[in-house]
Amino acid sequence: MERIKIVIGTKVWDDVQRLERALSEIPEMQIVAGPTTASGVFADATEMEADIVLLSPTLPGFRPELVSELLHYDERPIACIGLLPPLESRTDELLALGMKGHVSLPLDDAQLRRLLELIPNAVTQARAERASSSYVALDTPTLYTLAEAGWRRMVIALWGTGGGVGKTSLAINLAAALGVIGQRTTLLMDLDMTRGAVAPRLGLSPKENIYGLINTLLLDYLRTRNASCPPQTLQTKVQLWNTRLASKLHCLSGIASMEVAGRAEFRDDPHRTQALTRAIIDTARKLYDFVIIDLGPDINNDVHFAALDAADLVLTVVRPDVADMHSTGQTVPRLKQTFGEGIGKFELVINQWSTETGLKLKDVISTIGMKKFAQVPYDPQFTYSNNHQMPFVLEKPNPTSDAIVSMAVRFYPPLANTWVSRGGQIEGEAAAFKPPERRKEPGLWQQVQSVFVGK
Ligand SMILES: Nc1ncnc2c1ncn2[C@@H]1O[C@H](COP(=O)(O)OP(=O)(O)O)[C@@H](O)[C@H]1O
Ligand SMILES: [Mg+2]
């Protein structure tokens, strides 16, 4: 068997000596470097092809994220075991970032023995994780780092009871703001089961789409009875938008025609369709900083329902139109019944806003009874952009794109500077937005599933 290559990252001379002595007696293990700074640890471990770092947080320049950066190092995983001083306060944080175990200092015989057992286990575990089909580069660790930076990854659904209210237009433009202007990896998913509108609006191939994805996943589901979406499968169905611009906007096309939504793959088994939709969104959540989902109006559709349930935030789009207001208001009791406290994640976007409609904003909001998230002015040029496959926010800034980008800034505040430097304006207290806490309770769907499985 190949020897385990070890980097010792501590400045405590006594510990280094003890480790060197102990390890020299084990032929399967080899010390390859003993750096004395945190940046030295990363450089040595990657250069010397180390398998594991015995890491002390007292090293100069130490940052907890070093643990996840090593574990998710591109070429191969480098596991970490902490050499922790007594009363180290960051132990939980380090474990959350992927540290595979720890011993406490000083290294007495008992701690040393434990350490020698931990080393091969940590290496095996890190390799197994990397080899697993569900491995996702920088999963929880990125989440964690991003939370510190004042934003976090989010799944945002665009929904509304009306047709033509602007769900797709807002989905495309929010996704372009985040993925092209903001340069965050973003996945725009067309899960509207009434019509796939993202592909024609962005000039994407309709060939690879949600229907094909569900079909592929179905093969495994029918064999295993387990709904899962391997990252590679999702990625083969996803297209990068417009490679001529620096773009991190990826798209999953929707159904090619309405009839597809009625096919057996979607309709035969509601439980299965919901579980597969959920699995797709869960995988997307791990792969992308932002997932923007374009939905159709019908909440009884299984794909729509699962997406509404999985999303962290549902932007409910209405026009200043009494019929829109009425139908949206009518669904609120049903949403409350279904989502309980989760109804808080439904927020209102009044799109195509204009005072010429003869309605007052406050009346629109109070009629519907949902918290306002934003209002987006009507602009006849918007449809021109849609028809020319160019997201409106990528054109010269104007009050309508200001409003949409201001929404995106609430998810990703650094976007504000970029937009202003392009000549745009950011509205209101955009930067003060606190993303809603991700639900800690199992989602409604998991509850339903557990009842189902329990039967
Ligand atoms: N803020 C706006 N100003 C002007 N036109 C808009 C605006 N938002 C959307 N539109 C237009 O309204 C129409 C319907 O929009 P769409 O995004 O397809 O709605 P939905 O997805 O809700 O059916 C499109 O022609 C679109 O260009
Ligand atoms: Mg639409």
Domain-embedded: residue 136: no
Query: Do 234 and 281 fall into the same domain?
Result: yes
Mutate to test the pocket of ligand 1, among 382, 389, 404 (most ligand atoms within 8 A of CB): 382
Give the pLDDT of residue 1: 62
Helix, strand, coil abundance in the chain, percent, nearest 5: 50, 15, 35
Give the pLDDT of residue 265: 96
Outline where DSSP puts E strands in 312-371. 313-318, 346-353
Domain that holds residue 11: 4-131
Quick one: which atom of ligand 1 is closest to the CA of 192?
A: 21
Give the end of a domain, one of 77, 112, 131.
131
Domain-embedded: residue 137: no
Residues, CB-to-ion distance under 5 Å, ligand 2: 167-168, 197
Query: Do 25 and 160 fall into the same domain?
Result: no
Q: Is the CB of 433 under 6 A from ligand 1?
A: no
192 Cα to the center of ligand 2, angstroms: 7
Domain-embedded: residue 440: yes
Backbone angles phi, psi at 395, to 5 degrees: -85, -175
Q: Is the CB of 401 under 6 A from ligand 1?
A: no
CA nearest to 352, candidates 325, 390, 314:
325
Query: Do 250 and 398 fall into the same domain?
Result: yes
Domain-embedded: residue 445: yes
Task: Work out the angle between the directed axes of helices 302-310 and 444-454 (0-180°, nearest 10).
Answer: 120
* Stated pTM of the model: 0.70
Q: Is the CB of 379 under 6 A from ligand 1?
A: yes
Mutate to test the pocket of ligand 1, among 193, 383, 384, 392 (most ligand atoms within 8 A of CB): 383
Quick one: which atom of ligand 1 is closest to the CA of 171?
A: 17
Query: Do 31 and 176 fall into the same domain?
Result: no
CA 286/CA 278 separation, integer angstroms: 13
Q: Is the CB of 393 under 6 A from ligand 1?
A: no
| CATH assignment at residue 389 | 3.40.50.300
168 Cα to the center of ligand 1, angstroms: 7
Query: Do 85 and 193 fall into the same domain?
Result: no
For residues 357 and 321, the answer to whether their CB atoms sit within 8 Å is yes
For residues 304 and 298, the answer to whether their CB atoms sit within 8 Å is yes
For residues 82 and 102, the answer to whether their CB atoms sit within 8 Å is yes
351 Cα to the center of ligand 2, angstroms: 13
One pLDDT digit (tens) per residue for the chain, 455 residues? 689 999 999 988 888 999 999 999 999 999 999 999 998 999 999 999 999 999 999 999 898 889 988 998 888 999 999 999 988 888 988 887 889 999 998 899 999 999 999 999 999 999 998 887 767 665 444 544 555 566 888 999 999 999 999 999 999 999 999 999 998 999 999 999 999 999 999 999 989 999 999 999 999 999 999 999 999 999 999 999 987 788 999 999 999 999 999 999 999 999 999 999 999 999 999 899 999 999 999 999 999 999 999 999 999 999 999 999 999 999 999 999 999 888 889 999 999 999 999 999 999 999 998 999 999 999 999 999 999 999 999 999 999 999 999 999 999 988 998 999 999 999 875 544 555 554 444 444 444 444 444 43
354 Cα to the center of ligand 1, angstroms: 14
Domain-embedded: residue 106: yes
Query: Do 243 and 305 fall into the same domain?
Result: yes
Per-residue exposure over 298-326, b if at least 16 CB sit within 10 Å of its own CB, e if not: bbebbbbbbbbbbbbbbbbbbbbbeebbe
Quick one: which atom of ligand 1 is closest to the CA of 386?
A: 27
Query: Do 75 and 110 fall into the same domain?
Result: yes
Residue having the nearest C-alpha atom to atom 25 of ligand 1:
383
Name 377's Cβ contacts closer than 8 Å, sequence gap at least 6. Answer: 352, 353, 354, 399, 400, 403
Query: Do 198 and 294 fall into the same domain?
Result: yes
Give the pLDDT of residue 258: 93
Query: Do 379 and 237 fall into the same domain?
Result: yes
Domain-embedded: residue 349: yes
Residue having the nearest C-alpha atom to atom 14 of ligand 1:
164
Give the end of a domain, one of 110, 131, 152.
131
345 Cα to the center of ligand 2, angstroms: 20
| Cis, bond preceding 141 (omega within 30 deg of 0) | no
Query: Do 127 and 235 fall into the same domain?
Result: no
For residues 81 and 118, the answer to whether their CB atoms sit within 8 Å is yes
Give the pLDDT of residue 137: 67
46 Cα to the center of ligand 2, angstroms: 47
308 Cα to the center of ligand 1, angstroms: 21
Query: Do 115 and 230 fall into the same domain?
Result: no
CA 235/CA 230 separation, integer angstroms: 9
For residues 412 and 146, the answer to whether their CB atoms sit within 8 Å is no
Domain-embedded: residue 20: yes
Query: Do 100 and 159 fall into the same domain?
Result: no
CA 50/CA 154 separation, integer angstroms: 34
| CATH assignment at residue 69 | 3.40.50.2300
Give the end of a domain, one of 96, 131, 166.
131
Number of domains in the chain: 2
